[in-house]
Amino acid sequence: MKISIAQFKSKLGAVDENFSTAARLIEAAQNSDAILLPELWSTGYYPTPVEKFADKDGERTKKFLCAAAEKFSVNIIGGSVIVTSGGKIFNRCLVANRRGEIVASYDKTHLFSFAKENDVFCAGEKISTFELDGVECGAAICYDLRFPEFIRKIALAGAEIIFIPAAWSLKRLTPRQILTKARAIENQIFVVFANSSGKSEIINPRGEILAESERGEEILTAEINLRERAEVIGAMNLLADRNLSVDN
């Protein structure tokens, strides 16, 4: 499975321009099987007041992702965008398959209080898994990475690949690089981390870097061989070996 990350730093509040940039990068990566966009790519992280920049029910984003996915016959994990729904504001990831259908929606569950996200966004309340080309996948957003029990739930739900759009400050690059590897190793999954600030990564279940970007606009691509995951699990099945008696 050929995976690409469309890494770019959005211009704050310049929604039309950011949509144009995303369209250009998706076209450039069209020969991939799946393309991942960063967190809050349509607005930047994050303009205020957020309600002024929110996509009502995600309609513009859905039309954009579905049209691009169908045009290029590629799966698109649409990073995340600011969405208003039912009078609430969410940081939402939408996923479109090759046929131009929305197959998943995920709202960021862990809100980054350091940046006061919890003052403006509502937290999601459930994990999201979805199938792309017969492969079970999951989604998380940025700060979710710091919560191992949350990523574990996605792995236990059957995800082989977890896609994580982010706007992660490079001031905290070292812990993030440790966390992506740790989440991959402990759950024996592929981690695809798209960061608007740069240094995006694609990690295999052994915690090895398959591809890493620089800091500017870039298409980062790697081939994911799912047989590699089967080999890792065949040698040492961590999830099967869990002893849950200590939790009872």
User: Residues 9, 62, 108, 181: which is the catalytic one?
Assistant: 108
Euclidean distance between the first and final Cα of the chain, in Å?
39
- Respond yes or no: is residue 228 known to be catalytic: no
CATH of the domain at 119: 3.60.110.10
231 is catalytic: no
* Confidence (pLDDT) at 146: 98
Over residues 184-230, the pLDDT tens digits come to 999 999 999 999 999 999 999 999 999 999 999 999 999 999 999 99
Domain of residue 95 covers: 2-247
For residue 247, what pLDDT is reported? 57
Q: Which of 39, 117, 160, 201 is catalytic?
A: 39
Q: What is the mean pLDDT of residues 10-22?
A: 98
- Please confirm, yes or no, whether 93 is among the known catalytic residues: no
pLDDT in tens, 156-188: 999 999 999 999 999 999 999 999 999 999 999
What average pLDDT does this structure show over 54-58? 98
Q: 142, 153, 160, 181: which one is catalytic?
A: 142
Domain count, the chain: 1
Q: Are 87 and 54 in contact (CB under 8 A)?
A: no
